[in-house]
Amino acid sequence: MHRGKGMRFVGDSRVPAERKPNIPKDYSEYPGKTEAFWPNFLLKEWMVGAVFLIGYLILTISHESPLERKADPTDAGYIPLPDWYFLFLYQLLKYKYAAGDYVLIGTIVIPGLAFGALLLAPWLDRGPERRPSRRPVATGLMLIALISVTYLTWESVVTHDWEKAKEQGKIVETNIDKNDPGYQVFKSQSCVGCHGSELSGGTGPSLIGTGLKPEDIMKIAKEGRGAMPANAYKGNEEDLKKLATFISKLEK
């Protein structure tokens, strides 16, 4: 419709007076290939998600997460184990080329290159092909990454000392009176650095249930034994007696 010289209506911005229901488009010309996002596709996604969520909750109830003893920052002998999705990095740091003097390679260089390439993949490979066989470089690199992660994770699991890990994390009930004068001496002499705040051991042995008499403990504190050097105790004789008496009474 023309109005005036060179003028023509190209659109209609009027708002309809009657609100029509949100009816999905007719996809009958593509049977089985596509469907309306709302509510068909989204409802299916929610149903699948609900099934997985319920299954996950059932697993968490039937198989509770294992608990270890209370974390002790003074226990230098404790060997932590990361969650399963970080085991491949944990295993990588066990190799000479990624640990020690080359620890930066294992902690920054290799992971940085791998994850950086993953982030830049959409820009590095902009080909229109979707078949893996027609994208050999991208497919090959992804297969190498998957094989490497799988292998390192498997190696970490089979080479880990699970028995030792179970023992070091075992919850041990102790009746330690931390208000005891002997424990205060133990703490003030920095004994927790080797034997732990719970006296269960660290770089040094456990002091619980040693079976030693107070005079034996006093002798070891002065003369040393094993990895414990002589004259490790720097306090006075009275405090040493309190410490020795306290340790001798500890039982498993």
pLDDT in tens, 14-34: 666 676 666 656 656 666 666
Q: Which of 83-92, 108-117, 180-189, 202-211 is predicted with the least confidence, judged by mean pLDDT? A: 202-211
The single-letter code of the amino acid at 27 is: Y
Tokens of residue 176, six digits: 């330690």
Tokens of residue 132, six digits: 């893996």
Residue 36 has pLDDT above 90, yes or no: no
Q: Long-range contacts: 232-241, Cβ < 8 Å, 24+?
A: 233/189, 234/189, 235/185, 235/188, 235/189, 239/185, 240/185, 241/214
Ranked by mean pLDDT, the top range of 139-143, 170-174, 247-251 is: 139-143
Q: What is the radius of gyration, based on Cα positions, of the chain?
A: 34
Q: Which of 70-74, 142-146, 182-186, 248-252 is predicted with the least confidence, judged by mean pLDDT? A: 70-74
Confidence at 12, pLDDT banded by 50, 70, 90: low
Q: Three-class SS string for 167-227?
A: HHCCCCCCCCCCCCHHHHHHHHCCCHHHHCCCCCCCCCCCCCCCCCCHHHHHHHHHHCECC
The verdict on domain 181-248 having CATH code 3.50.50.60 is: no
The Cα 152–Cα 89 span in angstroms is 8
Q: What is the mean pLDDT of the chain?
A: 81
Residue 49 has pLDDT above 80, yes or no: yes
Q: How many CA atoms lie within 13 A of 94 on its CB side?
A: 13
Please give the average per-residue pLDDT across 60-71, as a whole number.
79
Please give the average per-residue pLDDT across 110-139, as a whole number.
85
How high is the pLDDT of residue 52?
94
- Which tens digits make up the pLDDT trace of 73-121? 766 677 788 888 899 999 999 998 888 888 899 889 999 998 898 888 8
How high is the pLDDT of residue 120?
86
Residue 39, preceding peptide bond in cis (omega within 30° of 0) = yes
* CATH class in words for 84-159: mainly alpha
How high is the pLDDT of residue 5?
59
Of 104, 111, 114, the closest CA to residue 144 belongs to 114
Residue 84 near residue 153, CB atoms below 8 Å: yes
Residue 194 has pLDDT above 70, yes or no: yes
Residue 177 has pLDDT above 80, yes or no: no
The Cα 225–Cα 231 span in angstroms is 11
How high is the pLDDT of residue 148?
93
The Cα 152–Cα 140 span in angstroms is 18
Tokens of residue 235, six digits: 């306090």
Residue 55 has pLDDT above 90, yes or no: yes
Q: Three-class SS string for 22-41?
A: CCCCCCCCCCCCCCCHHHHH
The percentage of the chain sitting over the pLDDT mark of 70, rounded to a whole number, equals 81
Of 174, 200, 173, 195, the closest CA to residue 185 belongs to 195
How high is the pLDDT of residue 165?
80
How high is the pLDDT of residue 37?
76
The model's pTM is: 0.52
How high is the pLDDT of residue 184?
86
- Please list, in sequence order, all residues whose beta carbon lies within 8 angstroms of the beta carbon of residue 74, skipping any fewer than 6 positions away: 192, 193, 196, 197, 202
Of 88, 120, 130, the closest CA to residue 106 belongs to 88
